[in-house]
């Protein structure tokens, strides 16, 4: 074994702590990126629970994906009776705006397109598969919060056209679509 000088020991020590610092900085950056992603998810989707947003962000779900994720049930409920009423369209666009989707956002353009021309029925089926996979990866409390928020917005669309004196405000087709959405969350 060769004898090392204090200078060599110092250099080894510097290398060791340099690597430790780099690892800590990388962890800090990753943590900050997840926090930023969670904040963006909250702004774009209207999810108000910070823990839920952080849990979703940790699954590497993007803001763009979640924007579409949140809009599909609304559009599907609106089209459940083979047409979209102007009140339903207003509720959908208002929900999107409240979720932070601007008029210039591609998600808003897609949404407006879906409110003018009915998307394929496979869109809701695909959404249900995605919702089931995402919700299976979430804690129960987060899954129920996400389900409740999505269903609340979808129900608002279904109730937008009202009925006669409040009766029949949700049609059988809309109710069936709401049940399908709820089932996607495992409920």
Distances (CA, A) of 47 to 23, 55, 133: 32, 12, 18
Q: Taking the C-alpha atoms of 130, 136, 137 and 140 in order, what is their torsion angle to the nearest 10 degrees?
A: 130
| pTM of the entire predicted model | 0.66
Q: What residue has token string 């940790």? A: 58
Rounded Cα gap, residues 59 and 55, in angstroms: 7
Q: How many CB atoms lie within 10 A of CB 144?
A: 16
Angle at 11 between CA 6 and CA 12, to 5 degrees: 95
Identify whether the C-beta of residue 73 lies closer than 8 Å to the C-beta of residue 119.
no
Domain that holds residue 176: 1-187
- Residues 34-44 have pLDDT tens digits of 888 888 877 76
Q: Which conformational region is residue 170 in: left (phi greater than 0), alpha (psi within -120 to 50 degrees), or beta?
A: beta
Question: What is the rounded radius of gyration, in angstroms, for the C-alpha atoms of the chain?
Answer: 23
- Residues 45-66 have pLDDT tens digits of 667 778 878 887 887 777 766 7
pLDDT at 54: 84
Show pLDDT as tens, one digit a residue, over the chain (187 residues). 456 677 777 677 777 777 767 777 677 777 778 888 888 877 766 677 788 788 878 877 777 667 766 789 999 999 998 999 888 998 888 888 877 778 888 778 888 888 999 988 888 988 888 888 888 888 899 889 989 989 998 999 999 876 544 555 788 999 999 999 999 998 6
In total, how many domains does the chain have? 1
pLDDT at 3: 60
Rounded Cα gap, residues 181 and 150, in angstroms: 8
């Amino acid at each position: 074994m060769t004898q090392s000088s204090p200078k060599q020991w110092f250099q080894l020590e510097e290398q060791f702590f340099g690597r430790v610092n780099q690892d800590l900085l990388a962890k800090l950056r990753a943590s900050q990126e997840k926090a930023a992603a969670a904040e963006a998810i909250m702004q774009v989707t209207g999810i108000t629970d910070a823990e839920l947003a952080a849990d979703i962000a940790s699954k590497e779900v993007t803001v763009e994906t979640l924007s579409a994720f949140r809009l599909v049930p609304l559009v599907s409920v609106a089209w459940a009776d083979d047409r979209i009423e102007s009140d339903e369209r207003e509720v959908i666009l208002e929900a999107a705006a409240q979720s932070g989707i601007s008029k210039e956002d591609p998600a808003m353009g897609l949404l407006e397109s879906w409110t003018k021309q009915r998307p394929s029925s496979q869109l809701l089926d695909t959404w249900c598969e995605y919702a089931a996979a995402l919700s299976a990866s979430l804690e129960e409390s987060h899954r129920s919060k996400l389900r409740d928020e999505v269903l609340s917005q979808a129900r608002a669309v279904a109730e937008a056209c009202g009925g006669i004196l409040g009766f029949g405000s949700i049609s059988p087709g809309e109710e069936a679509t709401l049940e399908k959405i709820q089932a996607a969350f495992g409920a």
